[in-house]
Amino acid sequence: MGVPLDVTGRLVVAPPVAAALAAGAPVVALESTLISHGLPYPQNLEVATASEAAVRSAGAVPATVALHDGRILVGLDAAALEALATAPAGSVRKAARPSLAVALAAGGWAATTVSATMIAAHAAGIRVFATGGIGGVHRGAIGGSRSGSRPAASEPTFDISSDLEELARTPMAVVCAGPKAILDVPSTLEYLETRGVPVVAIGQDELPGFFARSAGIRAPSSVRDVAAAAELVVTHLTLTLGSGILLCVPVPAEDALREAIAREAVERAVREAQSEGIGGPALTPWLLARIASLTQGASIRANASLIVHDARVAGELAVLLASA
Which residues have a catalytic role annotated? 31, 180
- The span of 6-14, 131-139, 261-269, 315-323 binding ligand PSU (CB under 6 A) equals 131-139
Could you tell me the smallest distance in angstroms from the CB atom of residue 279 to ligand PSU?
Answer: 10
Could you tell me the smallest distance in angstroms from the CB atom of residue 260 to ligand PSU?
Answer: 21
Give strand pairing partners of 128: 28, 173
Q: Does 250 bind ligand PSU (CB under 6 A)?
A: no
Burial of 140 (0-12, 13-18, 19+ CB in 10 A): buried
Reading phi first (left if > 0) and then psi (alpha if -120 to 50, else beta), residue 234 is in alpha
Residue 26 gets which letter from DSSP?
Answer: -
Q: What is the footprint of ligand PSU within residues 4-63 (CB under 6 A)?
A: 31, 33-34, 37-38
Please give the sequence-ordered ranges of beta strands (E in DSSP) within the chain, or none if there are none.
Answer: 11-13, 27-30, 61-68, 71-74, 93-95, 109-112, 128-130, 173-176, 199-202, 221-223, 245-248
Of the pair 128, 192, the CB lying nearest Mn ion is at 192
Query: What is the CB neighbour count within 10 angstroms for residue 63?
Result: 29
Determine the Cα–Cα distance for residues 232 and 223; give it in Å rounded to an integer.
Answer: 9
- The span of 19-27, 57-65, 159-167, 171-179 binding Mn ion (CB under 5 A) equals 159-167
Determine the Cα–Cα distance for residues 183 and 217; give it in Å rounded to an integer.
Answer: 14
Could you tell me the smallest distance in angstroms from the CB atom of residue 131 to Mn ion?
Answer: 16
Phi, psi of 281 (to 5 degrees): -60, -20
Question: Would you say 122 and 174 are in contact if contact means Cβ atoms under 8 Å apart?
Answer: no
Determine the Cα–Cα distance for residues 111 and 105; give it in Å rounded to an integer.
Answer: 14
Could you tell me the smallest distance in angstroms from the CB atom of residue 293 to Mn ion?
Answer: 22
Query: From the list 135, 179, 209, 244, which residue makes contact with ligand PSU (rule: CB under 6 A)?
Result: 135
Determine the Cα–Cα distance for residues 6 and 118; give it in Å rounded to an integer.
Answer: 16
Could you tell me the smallest distance in angstroms from the CB atom of residue 25 to ligand PSU?
Answer: 26
Of the pair 159, 166, the CB lying nearest Mn ion is at 159
Q: Does 184 bind Mn ion (CB under 5 A)?
A: no
Q: Does 159 bind Mn ion (CB under 5 A)?
A: yes
Interface with ligand PSU (CB under 6 A), residue total 19
Q: What is the dihedral of CA 260, 262, 263, 267, to 10 degrees?
A: 140
Q: What is the footprint of Mn ion within residues 229-258 (CB under 5 A)?
A: none
Please choose which of ligand PSU, Mn ion, none residue 132 contacts, taking the beta carbon within 5 to 8 angstroms, the exact cut-off set by kind. Answer: ligand PSU
Please choose which of Mn ion, ligand PSU, none residue 133 contacts, taking the beta carbon within 5 to 8 angstroms, the exact cut-off set by kind. Answer: ligand PSU
Cα 87 to Cα 66, 79, 91, 233, 270: the distances in Å are 13, 12, 6, 37, 27
Query: From the list 161, 187, 214, 243, which residue makes contact with ligand PSU (rule: CB under 6 A)?
Result: 161
Query: From the list 26, 75, 133, 244, which residue makes contact with ligand PSU (rule: CB under 6 A)?
Result: 133
Which residue ranges make up the site for ligand PSU (CB under 6 A)?
A: 31, 33-34, 37-38, 96, 113-114, 131-133, 135, 161, 163, 281, 284, 288, 303, 307
Which residue ranges make up the site for Mn ion (CB under 5 A)?
A: 159
